[in-house]
């Protein structure tokens, strides 16, 4: 017997990551928009979209139903009627032949985002939604079969006109190409990935690291040192828990967190040696926060999603902005040179310059391939290196 379930869900961002909840209905049987019951409490999670849960056999499938409550209810009812019609046809020994229609570009984009969500690839889903929306705004095409090669080149030009770097354009092109293949666009119209000059990874100098640490309060000192001495990614910092720290082995384990719906990139755990000075600082921090779950969570012990902003504001207040980049010259006056990922790059380069072998550094960094780690094999350039060069007898 066919499964007639067509259930509406609110798929939204929560402090524990993206979650699906049954929609709440008011007395008038209308959806109470953004409101859900989470852990026994009525909460509003405004960032999200509606989805319709249906079953293909026993497999649950979630179909996007947009962000408008009334439209979502109408889509749910339509889906339920279609399921009922299919059941009636099956019972009568007949078959419903649905008219083949042209695929709307916006619907294909929604299915592409939904596919990433069904794979629990939330970061990929966010990027997919961003790039597909940008492309539809530029191309102004309605149907998938209308997309032409010129639309993709115009997309590149629009991105460059906005000030996007060549690398950013190339990355967005790769995401767009993946979407268009998914949508069934003729691969012959897809141009090759734009080329860009591979820049050397930038790192913090020892002086910059010292100055930012001296300017930081105890909380930001922990954030900066964990990035600088463990090489953690931004989300790995956000979701770092005390259970990840093994004080006896002086090690830190990077692992997924079911409670927060956090998954490690490439789904591979890794264990990193924790330097003695950082371990001592973490132990002291733990004594001051004995009941917290997260190492650097908010006052309510939720993941802090503003770590990057805090770092940039710290650099600004401390007079450490470069004063030359577009960020420094913007209204926010937040330097582009101060990033959490730059702490991670500094960690990798420091390990390699101090003789740690490539395979070990690859494991500590969580790189999927050795080539990613080898990018950081850049020579040191400082007074000591210059002295060695000057001492060489060239002729």
| Rounded distance between C-alpha atoms, residue 221 and residue 153, angstroms | 45
Its pTM stands at 0.64
User: Distance from first CA to last CA of the chain, Å, rounded?
Assistant: 88
Q: What is the pLDDT of residues 5-56, one digit of tens each?
A: 789 999 988 888 889 999 998 877 889 999 999 988 999 998 888 999 988 7
| Rounded distance between C-alpha atoms, residue 73 and residue 27, angstroms | 15
Does the pLDDT at position 383 exceed 70? no
Tell me 111's DSSP state.
Answer: H
Contacts of 56 (CB under 8 A, 6+ apart): none
The architecture CATH gives domain 206-374: Orthogonal Bundle (1.10)
Predicted local confidence at residue 380, as pLDDT = 65
Predicted local confidence at residue 1, as pLDDT = 43
Reported confidence tier of residue 384, pLDDT bands at 50, 70, 90:
low
Reported confidence tier of residue 4, pLDDT bands at 50, 70, 90:
low
- List C-alpha distances in Å: 279 to 219, 249, 274, 286, 304: 15, 11, 6, 10, 21
DSSP secondary structure string for all residues of 122-139: HHHHHHHHHHHHHHHHHH
Reported confidence tier of residue 3, pLDDT bands at 50, 70, 90:
low
| Rounded distance between C-alpha atoms, residue 92 and residue 83, angstroms | 14
The mean pLDDT value of the chain amounts to 88
* SS3 label, residue 264: coil
Reported confidence tier of residue 264, pLDDT bands at 50, 70, 90:
confident
Q: What are the structural domain ranges in the chain?
A: 7-91, 105-189, 206-374
Does the pLDDT at position 186 exceed 60? yes
Residue 80 exposed, middle or buried by CB count within 10 Å (0-12, 13-18, 19+): middle
Cross-strand bridge partners of residue 175: none
Q: Rounded to the nearest 5 degrees, what angle is found at the Cα of 265, between the Cα atoms of 115 and 285?
A: 130
């Amino acid at each position: 017997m066919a499964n007639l379930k067509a259930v509406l869900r609110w798929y939204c961002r929560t402090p524990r990551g993206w979650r699906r909840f049954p929609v709440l209905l008011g007395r008038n049987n209308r959806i109470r928009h953004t409101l859900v019951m989470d852990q026994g409490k009525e909460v509003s999670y405004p960032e999200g979209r509606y989805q319709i849960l249906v079953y293909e056999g026993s497999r649950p499938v979630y179909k996007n139903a947009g962000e408008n409550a009334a439209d979502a209810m109408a889509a749910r009812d339509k889906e339920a009627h279609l399921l009922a019609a299919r059941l009636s046809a099956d019972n009568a020994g007949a078959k419903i032949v649905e008219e083949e229609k042209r695929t709307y570009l916006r619907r294909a984009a929604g299915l592409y985002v939904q596919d990433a969500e069904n794979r629990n690839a939330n970061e990929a889903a966010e990027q997919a939604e961003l790039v597909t929306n940008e492309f539809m705004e530029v191309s102004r095409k309605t149907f998938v079969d209308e997309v032409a090669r010129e639309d993709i080149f115009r997309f590149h030009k629009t991105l460059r006109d906005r000030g996007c770097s060549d690398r950013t354009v190339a990355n967005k092109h790769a995401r767009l190409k993946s979407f268009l293949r998914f949508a069934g666009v003729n691969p012959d119209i897809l141009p090759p990935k734009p080329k860009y000059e591979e820049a050397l990874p930038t790192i913090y100098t020892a002086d910059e690291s010292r100055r930012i640490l001296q300017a930081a309060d105890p909380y930001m000192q922990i954030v900066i040192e964990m990035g600088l001495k463990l090489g953690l990614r931004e989300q790995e910092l956000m979701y770092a828990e005390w259970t990840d720290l093994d004080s006896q082995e002086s090690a830190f384990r990077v692992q997924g967190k079911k409670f927060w719906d956090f998954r490690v990139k490439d789904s591979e755990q890794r264990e990193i040696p924790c330097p003695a000075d950082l371990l001592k600082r973490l132990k002291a921090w733990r004594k001051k926060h004995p009941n917290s779950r997260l190492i650097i969570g908010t006052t309510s012990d939720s993941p802090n999603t503003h770590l990057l902003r805090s770092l940039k504001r710290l650099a600004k207040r401390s007079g450490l902005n470069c004063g030359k980049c577009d960020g420094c010259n913007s209204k926010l006056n937040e330097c582009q040179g101060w990033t959490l990922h730059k702490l991670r790059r500094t960690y990798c380069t420091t390990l390699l310059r101090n003789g740690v072998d490539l395979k070990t550094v690859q494991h500590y960094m969580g790189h999927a391939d050795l080539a990613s780690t080898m990018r950081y094999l850049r020579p040191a350039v400082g007074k000591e290196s210059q002295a060695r060069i000057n001492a060489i007898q060239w002729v």
